[in-house]
Amino acid sequence: MKAILVRAPGGLDRLEAADIADPGAPGPGQIRVALHATSLNYHDLMVANGGIPTQDRRIPMSDAGGTVEAVGAGVTQFKPGDPVVSCFFPKWPAGRPFGAVGNFRGTPGDGIDGYATQFAVRAATDFTRAPQGWSHAEASTITTAGLTAWRALVVDGGLKPGASVLLLGTGGVSIAALQIAKAMGARVILTSSSDDKLARARDLGADETINYRQTPEWGARVQELTGGEGVDHVVEVGGAGTLAQSIRAVRVGGHIALIGVLTGRQGDVPTALLMARQARLQGLIVGSRQDQLDYIAALEATGMRPVIDRTYPLDELAAAFRHQETAGHFGKIVVEW
């Protein structure tokens, strides 16, 4: 069967198309899935370009949408023909994070082989059902970006109607968070360096937008837009380069979900201001299998659908990553086959 492999030490020019052995029939507790789509995330890019070291000939990609082809003995939650979507932390069934999710050793496309291939045989608990009526491409956006936004705002953030939310940029997490926040009756402020993207965000329901190149002190602008109160929630995808402004933007007692390192892994944090804000700064990575099922139920109940920027075939995965590197996308980049 066809697969894309990452050759050590990584690099987009070292992504290799190969024929590998078919995984065969599922064993007890397993399912065999015909995979049809994956979506790109920053974590996948870091694995592919060598920013996150992985073993030679690793199959990348954590997200996957596909169809169950066969089930092993003892599997009752799936049957052949069921559309499914992968889990980022397969060993995290529910509840709060614990030791096994403190690293990526069990994450597909990093510690174990991922889904840039045609078929996979995994434990049934490595997947959940996909939303009814969704394409495989749409479903593949749930695993990482969608679930991260859901956990940041709803599971850990406890988002309430009428709350205010600050979102940074227009990538997959931020656009999913925009849709979730508006579906729950929140007010959304969104930043970008592109006026065209800001206009598209307003079309999706963003209440206020800020061009951060034109307004570098955008934390102060958020304060102005909220009457000096600050926002209840910040979905912080930038990391070191944006965290200080996010702390300035949050209200006293607010919540900052730190989920990205797009601007770097280390930097100065205005700790005195964070203390004065008495804000909760929480690092988080994706969520549990039960969180994913809850998110899927919300997607079906609200009718939310993902925003897909562009689709590539599997053998053009490197080109898809290069498009991601330009940061020109709005929403999710998907690979389909």
What is the domain range of residue 295?
2-145+287-336
* pLDDT of amino acid 267: 63
* pLDDT of amino acid 265: 60
The SS3 assignment for 71 reads strand
Q: Are 196 and 173 part of one and the same domain?
A: yes
Which amino acid is located at 294 in the chain? Answer: D
What is the per-residue pLDDT across 228-260, written as a single tens digit (0 to 9) for each? 999 999 999 988 889 999 999 999 999 999 997
Q: Tell me, what CATH number does 204's domain have? A: 3.40.50.720
- Is 240 contained in some domain? yes
What is the per-residue pLDDT across 136-193, written as a single tens digit (0 to 9) for each? 999 999 999 999 999 999 999 999 999 999 999 999 999 999 999 999 999 999 999 9
Q: Are 212 and 136 part of one and the same domain?
A: no
Does the pLDDT at position 298 exceed 80? yes
Q: Tell me, what CATH number does 52's domain have? A: 3.90.180.10
Pairing of strands 83-86, 127-129: antiparallel
* pLDDT of amino acid 122: 98
Q: Are 117 and 239 part of one and the same domain?
A: no
Structure pTM? Answer: 0.95
Cis preceding linkage at 108, omega within 30: no
Q: Are 235 and 118 part of one and the same domain?
A: no
Q: Are 194 and 171 part of one and the same domain?
A: yes
Domain count, the chain: 2
Q: Angle 289-302/172-183 helices, nearest 10 degrees?
A: 60
Q: Are 279 and 299 part of one and the same domain?
A: no
Q: Are 237 and 261 part of one and the same domain?
A: yes
- Is 48 contained in some domain? yes
Q: Are 259 and 296 part of one and the same domain?
A: no
Looking at residues 129-137, what average pLDDT do you find? 98
Q: What is the mean pLDDT of the chain?
A: 96
Q: Are 16 and 69 part of one and the same domain?
A: yes
Cα 263 → chain centroid: 17
Q: Are 193 and 223 part of one and the same domain?
A: yes
**For residues 335 and 150, what is the distance between their CA atoms, to the nearest angstrom?**
23
Residues 157 and 235: beta-carbon distance below 8 Å: no
- Of 75, 92, 97, the C-alpha closest to 84 is 75
* pLDDT of amino acid 162: 97
- Is 16 contained in some domain? yes
Does the pLDDT at position 261 exceed 70? no
- In sequence order, the β-bridge partners of residue 281 are 256
Looking at residues 293-305, what average pLDDT do you find? 98
Band of residue 100 on the pLDDT scale cut at 50, 70, 90 = confident
* pLDDT of amino acid 337: 97
- Is 151 contained in some domain? no
Report DSSP letters for 46-59, one per residue. Answer: HHHTTSS---TTB-
**For residues 234 and 191, what is the distance between their CA atoms, to the nearest angstrom?**
11
Q: Are 278 and 178 part of one and the same domain?
A: yes
The last residue of one of the domains, among 283, 312, 328, is 283
Q: Are 8 and 133 part of one and the same domain?
A: yes
